[in-house]
Amino acid sequence: MNPNKKRENDDLPLFETKAARGGAAHKLFCSTIFAGIILTWVYRLTHIPESRIHVWFSMFFSEVFFGLYWIITQSARWHVVSRHPFKDRLSLRYGEEELPKVDIFVCTADPVLEPPSLVVGTVLSAVSYNYPPEKLAVYLSDDGGSELTFFALLEASRFSKHWVPFCKKYNVEPRSPRVYFSRCVDVNEFDQEWINVKQLYEDMESRIESVARKGCVPQEIKDRHKGFSEWESNVTKQDHQSIVQILIDGCDQEAIDIEGNKLPTLVYLSREKKTGCAHNFKAGSMNALLRVSAEISNAPIILNVDCDMYSNDPDSIRDALCFFLDEKQGKQISYVQYPQQYNNIIENDIYANINLAINQIELSGLDGFGGTLYVGTGCFHRRVSLSGEKYSGIHTIECLNDDEVNTKKRSVEELEEASKVLANCSYENGTLWGQEMGLVYGCPVEDIVTGLTIQCRGWKPVYYNPAKYAFEGVAPTTLDVSLIQFKRWSEGMFQIFFSKYCPFVYGHRKIEFGAQMGYCIYLLWAPISLPTLCYVVVPALSLLHGVPLFPQISSPWFLPFAYVFGAKTAYTLVEALIIGDTLKGWWNLQRMVLIRRTTSFFFAFVDTMIRQFGLSQTSFVVTSKSVDDHEARDRYEKGLIEFGSSSVTTIIIATIALLNFVSLVCGLLTKLAFGDEFGKFVAQLAICAVLVMLNLPIYEAIFLRSDRGKIPSSVAVKAFVVASILCLLRIY
């Protein structure tokens, strides 16, 4: 390292933080909406009717909830910041040999839902980062305890000898061979070498897939690697001993690729599972990874990705390091979170997977208050903060390179034996793992609650959203899977709200108030189902029964209602367009918000309530990342919603659609002729009309479609019955 160079560059920060523009106008506009909201409340309280008070108050309750919730969502829009790292300054300041070690954790849980060929794509993208290989170690945690996954990883360790030098030589991107080769068909970019590597990859993939199809590894293959002996006893997903296999030992001089360069360490881990012994899902797996990696490589920086989240940018480790290594602010940074992005989103994003508002605005807004979320994947951590230490200001780059483990120089076998103990069920008994150490247990969104505890210990996280995606995963391609995911999330978040971790209590005086509010945007997903259900049912029913719920169109009180609705809608639309969404994308999102709120969030609310009375246990339903059904895949690509088997969900969706359709038609027929009546019911007619427009694909799925993804007639009939009963109920 040139000392002069070092000096002239030393004062410059390694990253900068910019505040978003447009503050004042935005704040003024928000105040007018706020005033409108207050006026609607005033109207409800000053115009209480003499009869049917419960109906009136259900509307009032909903409007109060929506109003307060809207205020909460503003917290994430008040102080939006963006971060910009300077990689070039980093490389001027630190030589390659001075960079810290990085451990990469990949989690998988099920060889069927998460096909091993997908998992090794992610692993291969991790071993081929543009980073000194002797400083990298990649760990695969397999909660499925599957020999199929182990076989795939073993294959990948061999293929990496060809893949890593090939990537670096030709600067291949992205570095998941699965994605890379699926994208460029038949471009003989680098001639023979390209063809060779592609052939090697395809051979490997077909071996992995044929073994996966068989469901077991043939004996002659097993005989060739000692690791398979672990599966000689009866190994099942729920019951097996700890398995640790170091497939590539970075310290070994022989661990080199075909060009003679070193390779990163590669480890397979499957922690012990015992029936009757809580394993705490992904949090448990991450904690086992934390301990095992501390034994083997003990890097001060940890990158955590889900098995479907391959690295899309081979340089992102260096970006993340700019935050941790910045002389002034770096010390306090606990984690650097990247957005969750997907590579299978189609143009007509029917399930609204793209999450633009969350990724482009809300997480940056929370970052402005020092409270950006840890979302479980695509996140770089400082090991000490993830393991539970408080921020104390002493963790600097010198400590980062503190390297005592390697000096012990133990053999692979010794390391494996020592690591197995750390991955045993009993290891955590009587310790603070899962409470004060490592990821927090007992919540299906272990990531969110863990991020919160880290912030409350004095650390400051960073959210970094680069133009070039750093990670890409697989988004759900059926309605079922998408709703399962949202149910797990909303349930886990609501559970946090009710636990000792409620940000207003737990975070009091520890994190900023804006961050406490920002958390609640997500923590209150589940209960917002109630006012939403009220708003999609009550105005429609009241319209049918001739009960007006809103001020006359000629009354001045009509204005605040119209303004609040119009301004909020315009706000979300303009925001969506500014951050790069399309009109169609926004419209799809409105539909999905309606569906999520009335199904996933509602079920999550009910289940959380049941759990409060101790009647059920926390669970974690892993989502499927493979679409074997080609017809379903076609429908996804055509933008047709796939209504699966989950009938209760579909009944709710169809009932709401039918109810509002009937109310709108009857309402128009009976009210349109009488000018005075019409004026009284304009708002209710408008609500029904909006809901009917949002639900057009639902009517299509009931009446017009004939494919297998449509709403089955049996479900449609049930929805008819439920809707009719609702219409006949004399609650008025």
Ligand X SMILES: O=c1ccn([C@@H]2O[C@H](COP(=O)(O)OP(=O)(O)O[C@H]3O[C@H](CO)[C@@H](O)[C@H](O)[C@H]3O)[C@@H](O)[C@H]2O)c(=O)[nH]1
Q: Which stretch binds ligand X (CB under 6 A): 442-450, 454-462, 537-545, 565-573?
A: 442-450
> What is the per-residue binding string for ligand X in 309-348, x denoting contact by CB under 6 A?
----------------------------------------
- Given the complex with Mn ion, which of 310 and 369 has the nearer CB atom? 310
Q: Choosing among ligand X, Mn ion, none, which partner's interface includes residue 135 (Cβ < 5 to 8 Å by kind)?
A: none
* Residue 519 binds ligand X (CB under 6 A): no
Are 244 and 267 in contact, with CB atoms under 8 Å apart? Answer: yes
- Given the complex with ligand X, which of 141 and 245 has the nearer CB atom? 141
Q: Among residues 107, 289, 439, 595, which is the contact residue for ligand X, using CB under 6 A?
A: 107
- What distance in Å separates the CA atoms of residue 132 and residue 96, rounded to the nearest whole number? 7
User: What would the two tokens of residue 488 be?
Assistant: 């797990």
Are 100 and 300 in contact, with CB atoms under 8 Å apart? Answer: yes
- Given the complex with ligand X, which of 597 and 710 has the nearer CB atom? 597
Q: Give long-range contacts, CB 8 A cutoff, 24+ apart: 587-592.
A: 587/694, 588/348, 588/349, 588/350, 588/351, 588/352, 589/352, 590/694, 591/352, 591/694, 591/695, 591/697, 592/350, 592/351, 592/352, 592/482
Residue 684 C-beta-side C-alpha neighbours within 13 Å: 34
Q: Strand locations in 111-242, DSSP E?
A: 136-142
Work out how close the CB of 518 gets to ligand X at its nearest, in angstroms, rounded to a whole number: 18
List the interface residues with Mn ion, window 550-609 (CB under 5 A).
Answer: none
- Given the complex with Mn ion, which of 118 and 320 has the nearer CB atom? 118
- Given the complex with ligand X, which of 149 and 660 has the nearer CB atom? 149
- Given the complex with ligand X, which of 444 and 551 has the nearer CB atom? 444
User: What would the two tokens of residue 519 be?
Assistant: 């958390």
At 539, the amino acid letter reads P
Q: Choosing among ligand X, Mn ion, none, which partner's interface includes residue 377 (Cβ < 5 to 8 Å by kind)?
A: ligand X
Residue 143 among known ligand-binding residues: yes
List the interface residues with ligand X, window 267-286 (CB under 6 A).
Answer: 281-282, 285
* Residue 109 binds ligand X (CB under 6 A): yes
- What distance in Å separates the CA atoms of residue 90 and residue 111, rounded to the nearest whole number? 40
User: What would the two tokens of residue 285 be?
Assistant: 């797996």
Work out how close the CB of 597 gets to ligand X at its nearest, in angstroms, rounded to a whole number: 18
Q: Which stretch binds ligand X (CB under 6 A): 148-156, 424-432, 440-448, 558-566?
A: 440-448
* Residue 481 binds ligand X (CB under 6 A): no
Q: Choosing among Mn ion, ligand X, none, which partner's interface includes residue 149 (Cβ < 5 to 8 Å by kind)?
A: none
Q: Which stretch binds ligand X (CB under 6 A): 173-181, 331-339, 441-449, 461-469?
A: 441-449
Q: Is 468 helix (H, G, I), strand (E, B) or coil?
A: coil
Q: Choosing among ligand X, Mn ion, none, which partner's interface includes residue 109 (Cβ < 5 to 8 Å by kind)?
A: ligand X
Residue 237 among known ligand-binding residues: no
* Residue 451 binds ligand X (CB under 6 A): no
Q: Is 308 helix (H, G, I), strand (E, B) or coil?
A: coil
- Given the complex with ligand X, which of 516 and 623 has the nearer CB atom? 623
Question: How buried is 480 (Cβ within 10 angstroms: 0-12 exposed, 13-18 middle, 19+ buried)?
Answer: middle
Work out how close the CB of 282 gets to ligand X at its nearest, in angstroms, rounded to a whole number: 4
- What distance in Å separates the CA atoms of residue 602 and residue 332, rounded to the nearest whole number? 39
Question: How buried is 80 (Cβ within 10 angstroms: 0-12 exposed, 13-18 middle, 19+ buried)?
Answer: buried
* Residue 620 binds ligand X (CB under 6 A): yes
Work out how close the CB of 684 gets to ligand X at its nearest, in angstroms, rounded to a whole number: 37
Residue of minimal CB distance from Mn ion?
A: 306
How long, in residues, is the chain? 732
Q: Choosing among Mn ion, ligand X, none, which partner's interface includes residue 320 (Cβ < 5 to 8 Å by kind)?
A: none
* Residue 622 binds ligand X (CB under 6 A): yes
> What is the per-residue binding string for Mn ion in 299-338, x denoting contact by CB under 5 A?
-------x--------------------------------
At 27, the amino acid letter reads K
SS3 readout for 594-617 = HHHHHCHHHHHHHHHHHHHCCCCC
Work out how close the CB of 454 gets to ligand X at its nearest, in angstroms, rounded to a whole number: 15
> What is the per-residue binding string for ligand X in 142-171, x denoting contact by CB under 6 A?
-x----------------------------
Cα 430 off chain centre by: 31
Residues that are catalytic: 143, 447
Helix 583-598 and helix 675-694, axial crossing angle in degrees, nearest 10: 90
Cα 513 off chain centre by: 24
Q: Which stretch binds ligand X (CB under 6 A): 32-40, 104-112, 149-157, 200-208?
A: 104-112
Residue 114 among known ligand-binding residues: yes
DSSP letters, 680-702, are: HHHHHHHHHHHHHHHTHHHHIII
* Residue 108 binds ligand X (CB under 6 A): yes
- Given the complex with ligand X, which of 592 and 692 has the nearer CB atom? 592
Q: How many residues bind ligand X (CB under 6 A)?
A: 24
54: Cβ contacts below 8 Å, ≥ 6 apart: 731
> What is the per-residue binding string for ligand X in 364-393, x denoting contact by CB under 6 A?
-----------xxx----------------
Residue 405 CB neighbours (<10 A): 17
Residue 453 CB neighbours (<10 A): 20
Work out how close the CB of 592 gets to ligand X at its nearest, in angstroms, rounded to a whole number: 15
Secondary structure tally for the chain: helices H, strands E: 29, 12
Q: Among residues 488, 596, 597, 680, which is the contact residue for ligand X, using CB under 6 A?
A: 488
- What distance in Å separates the CA atoms of residue 290 and residue 538, rounded to the nearest whole number? 51
Task: Give the dihedral of Cα atoms 691, 693, 694, 700; nearest 10 deg.
Answer: 120
Q: Which stretch binds ligand X (CB under 6 A): 11-19, 428-436, 502-510, 616-624?
A: 616-624
Work out how close the CB of 110 gets to Mn ion at its nearest, in angstroms, rounded to a whole number: 12
- What distance in Å separates the CA atoms of residue 89 and residue 111, rounded to the nearest whole number? 42
280 dihedral zone (left: phi>0; alpha: psi -120 to 50; beta): left
- Given the complex with ligand X, which of 289 and 685 has the nearer CB atom? 289
- What distance in Å separates the CA atoms of residue 119 and residue 107, rounded to the nearest whole number? 9
Q: Strand locations in 66-185, DSSP E?
A: 81-85, 102-108, 136-142
- Given the complex with ligand X, which of 488 and 680 has the nearer CB atom? 488
Cα 27 off chain centre by: 29
Q: Among residues 160, 297, 385, 485, which is the contact residue for ligand X, using CB under 6 A?
A: 485
- What distance in Å separates the CA atoms of residue 576 and residue 583, rounded to the nearest whole number? 8
Q: Choosing among Mn ion, ligand X, none, which partner's interface includes residue 376 (Cβ < 5 to 8 Å by kind)?
A: ligand X
- Given the complex with Mn ion, which of 312 and 387 has the nearer CB atom? 312
Work out how close the CB of 210 gets to ligand X at its nearest, in angstroms, rounded to a whole number: 23
* Residue 121 binds ligand X (CB under 6 A): no
Residue of minimal CB distance from ligand X?
A: 376
List the interface residues with ligand X, window 285-304 (CB under 6 A).
Answer: 285
Residue 349 among known ligand-binding residues: no
Q: Which residues are annotated as a binding site for Mn(2+)?
A: 282, 306
Q: Which residues are annotated as a binding site?
A: 114, 143, 282, 306
Q: Which residues are annotated as a binding site for UDP-alpha-D-glucose?
A: 114, 143
Residues that bind ligand X (CB under 6 A): 107-109, 114, 141, 143, 281-282, 285, 306-307, 375-377, 444-445, 447, 485, 488-489, 492, 620, 622-623
Residues that bind Mn ion (CB under 5 A): 306
